[in-house]
Structures are given as C-alpha cells and as structure tokens.
Amino acid sequence: MNEIINKVANSSLEVFDLEDYYPSGNRTQIDVAQWLEEGFLLKEKDFRESLKNHDWSQYQNHFVAIHCSTEAILPAWATILVTVHLQPFAKKIILGKKEEIDIILYSEILNQIDYSIYSDKPVILKGCSKKPVPESAYIFAIQNLQKVAKSVMFGEACSAVPLFKAPK
C-alpha cells in the first residue's frame, strides 16, 4: 500500500496567518451627532454637559471609533473632548468609522513583528479567515514579507496564488 505523505507539512513552507494577530475586544462606534442639536448644531455648553452626563464606563476595554454621521461642521476640539472622556476606559480610540479600527490595529501590530523568521523561506500568506481581517492588513503584510521571504504565495497550500519571488 502507498502511504499518504503530507508534503506541505514536510516542506520548508511557512504560513503567515493574519488571524493569529487579530486583537480581541469589542469594536464600538460613537456618533458625535447624538450630542448635537438636531444632529447638526454644536452648542458648547450643552455639548459639554451631555459628555459629562454620558456613561463612559460602558466602553471599558473597547476599541472605539469616533465619527459624526451628519454633515455637521465640527470644531477640532469636539472629537478631542470626546476622547478625553473615553481615555480612561477605551483600549484604543480612533477618529473614523468602526471598520477602520482593525485597519489601524493591524498596521500597528504588523509593523512590530520580527519578520526575520521568514528570511529566505517560501511563505504562504493565508487567505481564509474566520475573523474579520481587513484587506489592507494583507497589503501591510506583503510589504514586510517581501523584504525577507524567498517567495510569497496567497491562499492555502493546496491552491496558492504566487505573488512574489525574490530575485536570485
């Protein structure tokens, strides 16, 4: 009988799985419009009072995106003041939409990784993910892997798409 051999497991192929770097925690979006008169007009005294009375503890250990859902023109200090109230509770605060949280988190995380373990090796940038890995995270990853890897493919070992091969 012929024994089935797992050639992928026995190869020097390295798998770079972005899901391994996914930061766990709640992602929350705060809409500044809720504290504006009719969603558009910022009255400083009322705005400050609303922020003062808001329960900020509900954002404990959350990744928070601050944005305004209306076309209101806000002074820069408005979102900064929201940040002042959030700071004691939130893990991370960004200006933008909820979807942008993971883009920023991955950018920071992937810039801190030691990619030398992938030096001169074939690498698969794993494509399937159960967690919401933003497409831009793959862009960040390939830029770093390309500096050190012998080659980079995308997908799974059984159906990888070649992306990069280092010059000889």
Q: Report the alpha-carbon distance of residue 166 to residue 105 in Å, rounded.
A: 28
| Residue finishing a domain among 46, 69, 90 | 90
| Residue finishing a domain among 90, 113, 133 | 90
**Shared domain check, 127 and 74:** no
Q: pLDDT at position 5, please?
A: 52
**Shared domain check, 115 and 74:** no
**Shared domain check, 113 and 73:** no
Which phi-psi region, left, alpha or beta, contains residue 26 (left: φ > 0; alpha: ψ -120 to 50)?
beta
pLDDT in tens, the chain (168 residues): 676 554 545 468 999 999 999 999 999 999 999 999 999 999 999 999 999 999 999 999 999 999 999 999 999 999 999 999 999 999 999 999 999 999 999 999 999 999 999 999 999 999 888 889 999 999 999 999 999 999 999 998 888 999 999 998
The four Cα atoms 101, 102, 103, 108 give a dihedral, to 10 degrees, of: 100
**Shared domain check, 160 and 139:** yes
**Shared domain check, 161 and 108:** yes
Looking at the structure of the chain, the number of domains it has is 2
| Residue finishing a domain among 90, 114, 143 | 90
Query: Residue 81 corresponds to which tokens in the numbers above?
Result: 């003041």
Contacts of 60 (CB under 8 A, 6+ apart): 89, 90
4 within domain boundaries: no
What's the pTM value of the predicted model, to 2 decimals? 0.85
95 within domain boundaries: no
Which helix H or strand E contains 164, and what residues bound it? strand 161-165
Which structural domain, as residue segments, surrounds residue 46? 27-90
Exposed / middle / buried, residue 128 (Cβ in 10 Å: 0-12, 13-18, 19+) = exposed
